[in-house]
Structure 1
């Protein structure tokens, strides 16, 4: 990246010399420009990771926010990190010119970007993040609110209880018993000193037969407890680490290799049926609104002065086809 910047800078300098504008080239300091580009390049990586709308991105908000805050910390000494191609690169200490920019960016980041219970709930649905949420800036209060939010969604999307076998489908009904002896007999009356029989029956029914709501709550708590104790294996990590698996799949020629968080939950839907439904319900929310902004721009380009007579349903169909044109693999 920095080599391409230096090459473009040299080319721009030569162009300004031809135009006899050397004074403008003298005002550009190559070292400061490299440092500024290196600072902003990390924001570009975060944007590219959170912008896609056809893959889950909402669970990555907390992780990238923590990485950006760590990236904006002032450094008095050089630090060695891994580059984009896994090569080691040394980042020099912050200069006097770049330090105020970092301070200002950090203030803006903390003022305009903050975590919510929805972010905690979606990050908890990632098996690789659920045990290290505090490392990404989630407080215990926010984690608890995220679990409450998660339980509420689980109650709404829980699969219906399987119907019990009816008398007509499972077993034959017994014929009604016909009493042959119609002679009236004397009855013995018992006086109950305690509560009435109806009240005792109701109390017994409440104690012995739990309601559907209590059964659902027990299923939710049990599934959450099992997921909390779940530890991702090596094979799980290969599927969840989307970029590494996709890169290896491309090298092997397996273009149709399905990887990522959604395929992992599809496999685990038998073990965690309610949580799998929650994943489909909330991880479809995009982290950025870039796709919505593009759609608004497309409305203005499609419904122009030359095509002002388009019917709303026709315009809606055109925008829908444009937004989903990448789904056609033919």
Structure 2
């Protein structure tokens, strides 16, 4: 609404002037209105990105949290009002939002974010790598037969501590060539990151599923988790309109079909 008023400020001012009601804008300066719109624009972009329902979003949680924190840093051009507003918003942002291991895993499983540069603590990167390795081992154990599983457990050497990673460009594998071929996670870390702008992470994992089968399985599981419940809430809201008092006899399958069509055709 503020953006709409800002874009039509001159027209609104002219209309009020014609009516003799220009005093209604005395407390609404045009420059302040534009500054507020610009301030809120970043939050609008974050909301739109994190509420997307057609693409993975969980990996964007840490990305947008970092962007908003930088957006709320004080600037020499800020007046007293905006300085106070930024400080309060930053405090609320830090108090209410926390990056958990699941968010870090989602970042790592996005090929363009796997260096985890947003993670300040180096031990966080090591924790993420070790967790993915643990998940890979779990998958291998589930796929193995009971006999193979017992043999693997009895003959497996103690697990070596994963080397700390300082970022994708600085990864240097100190393991032997045999160990490297067996460590799918290290191979993924060392794999060249994609550079294209219009990047589709799901298509990338589909293309590289043969090279990294276990990591790809984990990626599909984690990247399918939405960052926000907005899409589900929209579906529940739509379902409330579909199943009304006059249409209470609709079968569950019919309701599912209607919701599916509504979700996929509303943009066309």
Bin of the TM-score, shorter chain as denominator length: 0.7 to 0.9
The structure number with the bigger radius of gyration is 1
Distance 2:75 2:42 in 1: 16
Report the CA distance shift for 1:3/1:51 in structure 2 as closer, same or farther (over 3 A).
closer
Q: Which residue of 2 aligns with 1:17?
A: 17
Whether the 8 Å contact between 1:65 and 1:136 is mirrored in structure 2 is: no
Q: Give the gaps of 5 or more residues in structure 2.
A: 160-178
Q: Which residue of 1 aligns with 2:44?
A: 44
Structure 2 length-normalised TM: 0.77
Q: Give the gaps of 5 or more residues in structure 1.
A: 77-92, 163-205, 243-258
Q: Which residue of 2 aligns with 1:224?
A: 185
1:127-206 to 2 correspondences below 5 Å: 127-131=111-115, 133=116, 135-137=117-119, 139-158=121-140, 160=143
* Deviation of the 1:152 alpha carbon: 4.1
Distance 2:106 2:8 in 1: 42
* Deviation of the 1:110 alpha carbon: 0.7
Q: Which residue of 2 aligns with 1:312?
A: 252
* Deviation of the 1:124 alpha carbon: 0.9
Distance 1:68 1:221 in 2: 40
* Deviation of the 1:37 alpha carbon: 0.8
- 1:264 matches 2:246: no
Q: Which deviates more from structure 2 when the two are superposed, residues 2-11 or residues 67-76?
A: 2-11
Distance 2:229 2:123 in 1: 27
Structure 1 length-normalised TM: 0.64
* Deviation of the 1:123 alpha carbon: 0.6
* Deviation of the 1:230 alpha carbon: 2.5
Q: Which residue of 2 aligns with 1:114?
A: 98
SS in 2 for 1:126: coil
CA deviation string 1:307-326 (max 9, x = no partner): 12333343334323433447
2:109 to 116, 122, 125: 125
Distance 2:154 2:17 in 1: 81
Q: Which residue of 2 aligns with 1:297?
A: 237
